[in-house]
Chain A
Amino acid sequence: MLNKEQYQAAFAHLHASGAPIRQEAKLMKKGRIRKSAAITAAVAALSITAAGAANAATDGALLESICVAFRCEVQDTQTNPDGTTTYSVKGEDGSDIAVTVTGDPNAPRGVLVNGDGSADSPSFDVQVNEDGSVTATEKDADTASPAQEAADH
């Protein structure tokens, strides 16, 4: 017969990781980072960890509510007067990349920005344009309804 002591002893072995949640909260307090941005940055940090451990992570490990995540280090986040958000990230080669994301509700969700500045998504065909913008079109859509993100290199 199952009892609470047995169950609690077994499941007490489950522990969360030590991801830097307090740091994200501190940034939110200072007004330097919006909640959604903080969550994105936190997920980005987790993605990097997972990629390092598993040496892969091509799975678009994102949440539905998050528009963009990064396979590279997010160094700063800034909300612009026009409502867009600019993420300053460090590329694989050490270069600085600025990615500006629109607040457009039709913008693609779950686009993954790679360390080399390219981007991909399980649900969208993502193309990095010559001017640095990113065009995302829903895969297998009969009618293309591209949603735009500007990613200035």
Chain B
Amino acid sequence: MDEAQFTDIVRRYRDHLFAIAFQYTKNAADADDMAQIALLKCYQAAAPFESEAHIRHWLIRVTVNECKRYLVSPWRRYTAPIEDYAETLGFETPEQSALFLAVMDLPQKYRVPIHLYYYEDYSVREIAGILGIRESAVQTRLLRARRKLKDKLEGENDAE
């Protein structure tokens, strides 16, 4: 892979990988590290990539695997309150902020499939492949995550 290709890959995928890693780490600095490791591994990858979809899928799988290793590692940064981080993101509407916080409040096993489905536009089958779980498990997690989000967001609206 030449430098121009790598620069292009970094430009196109870094934020995506960061957002996925953030679902695991809830910490911008560690999510940055995970995305960076995946990109450096891509740079070093010996096998040629067949297509854009292949690169994207490969990068996401590597990021997910690195994040799984991160979760069992003792070397983790202390997590700052997500509300503090959300305040730095400059949401345009209160609804965006509420949705972000509601998703981040979900258990991690629900956050990741939700993100891959709604942000990366992957199918249930593809998510199952990326996460190494059964399609039925992905469907169940998506269903439960949606219910939890609905309850949480509607509860907030009722409170207002």
Contacts and interface: CB of A to CB of B under 8 A. Distances in A.
A153 interface: no
A143 B72 CA distance: 24
Contacts of B30: 61
B7 A63 contact: no
B100 A13 contact: yes
Contact of A16 (B35, B43, B89, B146): B35
B43 A25 contact: yes
A103 to B, nearest CB: 18
Contacts of A19: 32, 36
B69 interface: yes
Interface stretch (A39-47, A76-84, A90-98): A39-47
Nearest to A62: B75
Nearest to B30: A61
Nearest to A3: B118
A2 B75 contact: no
Residue from A26, A28, A62 having most chain B Cβ neighbours under 10 A: A62
Interface residues of A, number: 41
Interface string B1-38: 00100110010001101110010000011111101110
Nearest to B88: A13
Interface string B124-138: 000000000000000
B150 to A, nearest CB: 8
B69 A64 contact: yes
A110 B77 CA distance: 12
Interface string B79-105: 000000000011110011101100100
A13 B29 contact: no
Question: For B44, B75, B89, which residue has the most chain A Cβ atoms within 10 angstroms?
Answer: B75
A6 interface: yes
Most chain B Cβ neighbours within 10 Å, of A10, A59, A61, A63: A10
Given A2-B149, A6-B95, A14 B43 contact: no
B58 interface: no
Given A11-B100, A14-B18, A39 B36 contact: yes
Contacts of B96: 6, 9-10, 13
Interface of B: 3, 6-7, 10, 14-15, 17-19, 22, 28-33, 35-37, 39-41, 43-44, 69-70, 72-78, 89-92, 95-97, 99-100, 103, 114-115, 118-119, 121, 146, 149-150
Given A10-B99, A16-B17, 19 more contacts: A2-B150, A6-B99, A8-B118, A11-B103, A13-B89, A13-B100, A17-B28, A21-B10, A21-B14, A24-B40, A25-B3, A35-B41, A38-B40, A42-B40, A46-B32, A59-B77, A64-B72, A109-B75, A122-B74
